[in-house]
Structure 1
Amino acid sequence: MIVALTPNLSLDRTLRLDRALVPGQLHRVPEVSVAAGGKGPNLARIVRAFGGETCVAGVVAGHNGAHFRALLAAEGLSGVLEDTAGETRECHILMDGASAHPTEINEAGPAYDADAVARLLARLPAGRVAVCGSLAPGTAPDAFAAMLRALGSPVVDSSGAGLQAAIESGAGLIKPNEHELEALTGQGTVASARDLYRRSGVPVLLTRGAHGAAYIGAEVLEVQAPMVEVRNPVGSGDSLLGAFLYARQRGEPLEAALRLAVAAGSANALLGGPLRFDPAVARDLVPRTAVSIPA
């Protein structure tokens, strides 16, 4: 079981605009999709697509929270959810067909609720926990670190204070992208990830966008991504992590797991996001990945 715990769940609205985005002007939306959103649900979709056992965990609120529950159930994804005051946030993904990357507009979400989090942690099933995404507003770094310690050695995919707390609490793995690693260490490179691992003992799965990913731990390995036509890159990092955790939980060696992970991230970008993910496409891309051992 891979438990995808997201501290700040959302409703993700993907809007396909009728023309290139121009600030200050009217745009019409010929196509819209709404999904139970956040990094954890995206990760869970990929694990399930490959045939793994998974569930989504987090705190929801208000009418949007009820909508989130309904959407998750409609997909057939298992959820361990607690309610709090306020309103689950909405995140808007604007696709205009012209920009290389969508425009994303994310609301803040409901405030951190220590009681709801405690109830949630008490209900989590046994399994590998991946804590994914930004922190709820008002989350104290020490409260987040305490939650991570209570979870044992979780995987953490966050940024800023969340990533720092993961290092300080001795997470089992962190998954920053290059910008997030640069904010943490001053450089978003494999060399800085090596130094971080030496200092903290926390392995790093460094995602590098179209360039692939690198794993830095007791072993160091880099995988170059195949070239694909990018339709929607949103969720590619989540897809990469989901495939990596799935493969490692099945006992796959590091190289095979990292190659599948990079292929899954590329497949996500090619197919248009986690809702359109096809594991067969990811597996077909694996031979087009390239493995190297960084100097």
Structure 2
Amino acid sequence: MITTLTLNAALDKTYYLQTLSIGQTNRLRDVHIEPGGKGINVAKVLHSLGLEVTAGGFIGGNNGKVISALLQDRGVGHEFIGIQGESRTCLTIIDNEREEETEILESGPNISSEDWEKICHFTDAAAKKSTIMTLSGSLPQGVPADGYGQLIDIIKQNGSKAILDSSGAALRYGLEKAPFAVKPNERELKQWLNKETLSLSEALEAGKMFIQKGIQYVCLSLGKEGALFFTRDEVFHVKAPVVNAVNTIGCGDAMVAGLAAGFYQNLPARDVILLAAACGSANAMMPQAGQVALTDLEELRKQVVVKKIDNILS
């Protein structure tokens, strides 16, 4: 089984407009509501791939009830820790005319020390029965800065494999615990390196440093430059196919789902990154985050270009 953790779950609302007019009245063409948060998006994609998955984390209030009900409707297994606060709402505005996406994200509820103890116990139990566990997204208020690091320790102690996808201090502390795999994007990598720009050679050096920390697999998603995928022995440069993108929100989460699925199925490294890249592209073709069409996925996997880079780890 695969378990995904979303410590800052959200009710995702997507507003579709012909064009967004700042300071004026805007009338929607359409609206869509989804259970969200990065780990929940991962779980939805894994469910679409036909894999056994449980979405875990924190939910609270009326939004939490809606998140749970929507996952139930979609048949996605879930087991959340209920909290006193209200799960956040995250708004994405799609401007069709400009082909732009604007995100407005609430910060989320405060997590008590008692709630944190509960999620640690949940992680301990889940790791005993899960081959893979994913840790995705921001840390809500009240969670220790090294929260992901603590959970990675628990996961590893129980023989499971942790995949980390976060940013800032949460990523930095998590990296020190050497999770099984990490997936920083370009913005997160620049933040970690304290750089305003990032060259391909600098990204290659960063990936090498992650491997030297004891992380077994590193996927760096670099926007137009594609992605770099590191194992202990090999590095691959990956170019995803060009698609007619409808909504790029959640593409990174879909990539994490592809990584988790590939590792879960014990695929060779090249096939793991092929699947992850195809999942990211397939998500971009769908109107909501955390969705892939299997027919798109199979065709896209054939179009992903993977080239091995020699000698970088020597």
TM-score normalised over the length of structure 2:
0.88
Q: Aligned in 2, Cα 1:53/1:201: closer, same or farther, shift over 3 Å?
A: same
Of 296, 302, 306 in structure 2, the residue corresponding to residue 281 of structure 1 is: 296
Paired position in structure 1 for 2:163: 155
Q: Verify: 1:172 aligned to 2:187, yes or no.
A: no
Counterparts in 2 of 1:1-295, with a 5 A limit? 1-17=1-17, 19-123=18-122, 124-125=125-126, 126-127=129-130, 128-152=132-156, 153-186=161-194, 188=198, 189=200, 190-202=203-215, 203-218=217-232, 219-274=234-289, 276-294=291-309
Distance in 1, Cα, partners of 2:291 & 2:208: 37
Quote how far apart the aligned CAs of 1:230 are: 1.1
Stretches of structure 2 that go unaligned for 5 or more consecutive residues are none
| SS in structure 1 of the partner of residue 3 of structure 2 | strand
| SS in structure 1 of the partner of residue 103 of structure 2 | strand
Quote how far apart the aligned CAs of 1:148 are: 2.4
Quote how far apart the aligned CAs of 1:89 are: 0.3
Distance in 2, Cα, partners of 1:150 & 1:250: 23
Q: Aligned in 2, Cα 1:99/1:134: closer, same or farther, shift over 3 Å?
A: farther
Report the residue type matching 1:148 in the other structure: I
Quote how far apart the aligned CAs of 1:196 are: 2.0
Q: Which shifted more, 250-259 or 118-127?
A: 118-127
| SS in structure 2 of the partner of residue 141 of structure 1 | coil
Report the residue type matching 2:190 in the other structure: E
Distance in 2, Cα, partners of 1:294 & 1:180: 23
Quote how far apart the aligned CAs of 1:115 are: 1.9
Report the residue type matching 1:12 in the other structure: D
Q: Does the 8 Å CA contact 1:197/1:216 hold for their aligned counterparts?
A: no
Q: List per-residue Cα deviations over 1:226-263 (Å, max 9, x = no partner).
A: 11111111111111110121122112111111112111
Report the residue type matching 1:216 in the other structure: F
Distance in 2, Cα, partners of 1:136 & 1:164: 16
Q: Aligned in 2, Cα 1:247/1:147: closer, same or farther, shift over 3 Å?
A: closer
Distance in 1, Cα, partners of 2:223 & 2:288: 14
Runs of 4+ in 1 over 6 A off after TM superposition: none
Distance in 1, Cα, partners of 2:45 & 2:211: 31
Quote how far apart the aligned CAs of 1:267 are: 1.2
Q: Aligned in 2, Cα 1:142/1:239: closer, same or farther, shift over 3 Å?
A: closer
Provide the aligned C-alpha RMSD in A: 1.8
Q: Does the 8 Å CA contact 2:236/2:307 hold for their aligned counterparts?
A: yes
Q: List per-residue Cα deviations over 1:197-219 (Å, max 9, x = no partner).
A: 25412232111235432212312
Q: Which shifted more, 150-159 or 210-219?
A: 210-219
Q: Aligned in 2, Cα 1:168/1:287: closer, same or farther, shift over 3 Å?
A: same
Q: Which shifted more, 106-115 or 86-95?
A: 106-115
| SS in structure 2 of the partner of residue 167 of structure 1 | helix
Q: Aligned in 2, Cα 1:240/1:256: closer, same or farther, shift over 3 Å?
A: same
Quote how far apart the aligned CAs of 1:291 are: 1.1
Quote how far apart the aligned CAs of 1:275 are: 5.4
| SS in structure 1 of the partner of residue 146 of structure 2 | helix
Q: Does the 8 Å CA contact 1:211/1:225 hold for their aligned counterparts?
A: no
Identity among equivalent positions (%) equals: 30
TM-score normalised over the length of structure 1:
0.93
Report the residue type matching 1:217 in the other structure: T
| SS in structure 2 of the partner of residue 154 of structure 1 | strand
Stretches of structure 1 that go unaligned for 5 or more consecutive residues are none
Quote how far apart the aligned CAs of 1:20 are: 1.2
Report the residue type matching 1:155 in the other structure: I
Quote how far apart the aligned CAs of 1:73 are: 1.0
Distance in 1, Cα, partners of 2:186 & 2:147: 26
Quote how far apart the aligned CAs of 1:171 are: 1.4
